[in-house]
Amino acid sequence: MNNPLDSSIQFLPGIGPTRAALIDRELGLKTFGDLIGFYPFRYIDRSGITSISSITSSEAAVQIMARIVRVRLYGVGSNIIYDRVPDGTVPQGGGQAVKFNLVKRMSVIVQDASGEMELVWFKGVKYMFPKMATGGTYVFFGKPSVYGQRFNMVHPEVDVPPSGPGTMGVGTLTGVYTSTEKLKNSGVTGKVMNRMMASALDQCLQYVPESLPDYILNAKGLVPKRFALRNIHFPKSQNDLSKAVRRLKFEELFLLQLALLKQKYVRSRSAVGIPMPKVGEAFNACYNALPFDLTGAQKRVIKEIRSDMMSGHQMNRLLQGDVGSGKTMVAVLSALIAVGNGCQACIMAPTEVLAQQHFANVQKYLAPTGVKAALLTGSTSAKDRRILHEGLENGSIGIIIGTHALIEDNVTFHRLGLAIIDEQHRFGVEQRAKLWTKGNSGVAPHILVMTATPIPRTLAMTLYGDLDVSVIDELPPGRKPIQTLQIAEGKRPELYRFMKSQIAKGRQVFIVYPLIFENEKLDYKALEEGYEDIVEHFPLPDYKVAIVHGQQTNEVKQFNMDAFSSGRANILVSTTVIEVGVDVPNASVMVIENVERFGLSQLHQLRGRVGRGAAASFCILVKGQKISRESQKRIDLMCATENGFELAEEDMKLRGPGDMEGTQQSGLPVSLGIASLAKDGMLLQEAREYAESILKDDPELTDTKNAPLVQELKRGKYKVAKNFSQIS
């Protein structure tokens, strides 16, 4: 016998193959099981009846019970085509059949003891007209609005009073489901969705297995799965709805964390890594020659990395550090541990600009060590490539810095021991996975993933739940706070005066314009106009202005960047290509144009380009004339704090985890159906700690009491990738 959970939704009453195909295309729902796992995103309280005289225009929706006193059909120019009143007389249109192709709207006047109002339909008149029996009493639900001297409702939902059959949705909390225009236009309304859900639950709920063992339900005070599913869709009370929501959220977060932690446990036991028992002479030479002390956070993180590399198991560690926290220094010292153990290290960056920046810094730190470093990017000449490939194969190059050119098939290492990926979310899954294969004798290199994009704790737990996480939460001494100010477009003259005063002190200025893919042409036009305006107000020979954007060749881009880095240009006008990694200590002013078009994390990254020298630094946010309340909130937050992790948490609350800068490409390991990483942080922490405690007692989940968990983890939803490089 087939499991009803696998039945196609086309077999639900009133659906059929055509509607089922549309629902699949629009919502991705194919089976009864898919449907009952599709939860409402909000609820409408339909437990009360409002009298017509007490309706106000401020109400989002009302429910009335009223008698139909007139049904009228209008054609073009508001000509009455048909009129029906309670005594059955038809003053207009005679007894002829209605020609619905001529009908433009249907007006229904209803009345209760307190007054009357009009209900209007512009669509579906042919379907609704026969149901509107004059003299009949019905329950109507919809949004009230004022038209003329009277309240009306457009396209209200209609039910018979609760005493009759078919009362679903009346007198209860009614779920509202995500929909699309195509679905609504094809008659798949909220009411149809509720009917579908009720029918599917009636037919298949008894076949839904319990996914959590009894001991978990008891320990966490959770209701059974079937109760939760019934009450998430058709709650009998607010209390039952709350119980259902908690049960389903906990289950989702718990199973996700269990899958990630089990994978991490298995890998830590089985993934063979190159043992690196010593730090080596090069590490000590570099460390002892540093002109500054490492922060406590940097020292702690290096100890964590060293412990991993000594263990004999493959390191898989995420290094999070705010802008300017000293991740590059940690990367160099980690690479030197690999070199000290007879291995090579590579650092892969997402852009040529960042790769060149890393190379310049790494060479500076390597000066006292004698370790040879090299740079490989798309711009590297064929002649230089041949020399590089030879040096990598014979082991004379100890550390290579590069872009995705590092993963080309013809790049072969003598013995790659450590792969460092900077801003890893900018690389595709296949690109990252290719780097793992560059190890020797089938032993993958140790992996260190670095990001300067602060990731909220809940998102990090989910995106990188199978990784060990290190955080540099301390800025190097001497870094001065950056003063962040917001100004309106009309204050440009004052802004230019301020810029000139800073340049007079020998400082440099960044000006950044947004570049959004959909508006690329318009954005480049705005950039060019902005550049012309700057050149006009900052003319030669007193000022030199450089421009950098994605439409330039790498040579032109690099020439202009070098002009700014070396101090030959006072002002750099650019798109967000300078968001990551550009290090110009003399730049003390960051001007961000059209600030409302940036996310918080991106703004924070841009702000981090200044404040790298000894001078006081400023970030000036230039906002457009009309901005939304949400945009203003983001701008205010930027001015209120420099803490990247605080901003990331707020950004996720405002925009959701999927849209955050730096995470959109990565995606979550699974799509969450009901839980929210932005709102359910405490529940996620509880779920993770509980998952850890279960795996501590039963690491392989072989105990019979955990059989339901094993079954759930085998299901498609919780089959997370075998390693983080496969999470896309």
Residue 173 and residue 245 in contact, taking contact as beta carbons nearer than 8 Å: no
- Lookup: tokens for 239: 């209390």
- Indicate the CATH number of 482-641 among 3.40.50.300, 3.30.70.1290, 3.90.320.10, 3.40.50.720: 3.40.50.300
* 714 burial type by CB count under 10 A (0-12 exposed, 13-18 middle, 19+ buried): exposed
Residue whose C-alpha is closest to residue 679's, from 497, 456, 347: 456
The answer to whether residue 107 scores a pLDDT higher than 60 is yes
pLDDT surpasses 80 at 210: yes
Identical fold for domains 48-171 and 482-641, yes or no, is no
**Cβ–Cβ < 8 Å for 673, 237:** no
- What's the pLDDT tens digit per position in 582-599? 678 889 999 999 998 888
Beta bridge partners of 486: 621
How do beta strands 157-159 and 137-142 pair? Answer: antiparallel
Q: Closest by alpha carbon to 707, among 260, 214, 371, 122?
A: 214
Q: Would you state the pLDDT for residue 439? A: 72
Residue-wise pLDDT for 60-98, tens only, equals 788 899 999 999 999 988 888 888 776 554 444 444 577
Query: pTM of the full predicted structure?
Result: 0.64
Find the mean pLDDT for residues 681-710. Answer: 91
pLDDT score at 580: 52
CA dihedral sign of residues 302, 307, 310, 316: negative
Confidence band for 623, pLDDT divided at 50, 70 and 90: very high
Average pLDDT estimate for 223-239: 93
Lowest mean pLDDT among 293-297, 457-461, 631-635: 457-461
Phi, psi at 584, each rounded to 5°: -125, 90
C-beta of residue 43 within 8 angstroms of C-beta of residue 176? yes
Whether 611 and 478 have beta carbons less than 8 Å apart is answered as no
| Under 8 Å between Cβ of 366 and 332 | yes
| Residue 165, token pair as written in the block | 């059959």
DSSP 341-406: TT-EEEEE-SSHHHHHHHHHHHHHHHTTTT--EEEE-TT--HHHHHHHHHHHHHT---EEEESGGG
- SS3 of residue 173 by DSSP: strand
Task: Flag the least confident range among 156-160, 234-238, 362-366.
Answer: 156-160
133-151, pLDDT tens digit by residue?
888 899 998 889 888 777 8
- Supply the pLDDT for residue 705: 95
Are 626 and 546 in contact by the 8 Å Cβ rule? The answer is no
pLDDT digits (tens, 9 = 90+) for 391-406: 999 999 999 999 888 8
Q: How many CB atoms lie within 10 A of CB 567?
A: 13
Cβ contact 102:77 at 8 Å: no
Give pLDDT, residue 203: 93
281-310+326-451 homologous superfamily: P-loop containing nucleotide triphosphate hydrolases (3.40.50.300)
Helix, coil or strand: residue 399: strand
Of 2.40.30.10, 2.40.50.140, 1.20.1260.10, 3.65.10.10, which CATH number belongs to 48-171?
Answer: 2.40.50.140
Identity at 476, one-letter amino acid code? P
Cβ(454)–Cβ(320) below 8 Å: yes
pLDDT at 718 over 80: no
The CA distance from 36 to 638, in Å, is 42
* Domain ranges within the chain, ordered by starting residue: 48-171, 281-310+326-451, 482-641
577 versus 509: the higher-pLDDT residue is 509
Question: Which two tokens mark 319?
Answer: 């290094």
* pLDDT, tens digit (0-9, with 9 covering 90-100), for 321-378: 877 788 889 999 999 999 999 999 999 988 887 888 889 889 999 999 999 999 999 8
Counting residues of the chain whose pLDDT is more than 90, the rounded percentage is: 44
For 404, which DSSP code? G
pLDDT score at 449: 87
pLDDT in tens, 21-37: 999 999 999 999 999 99
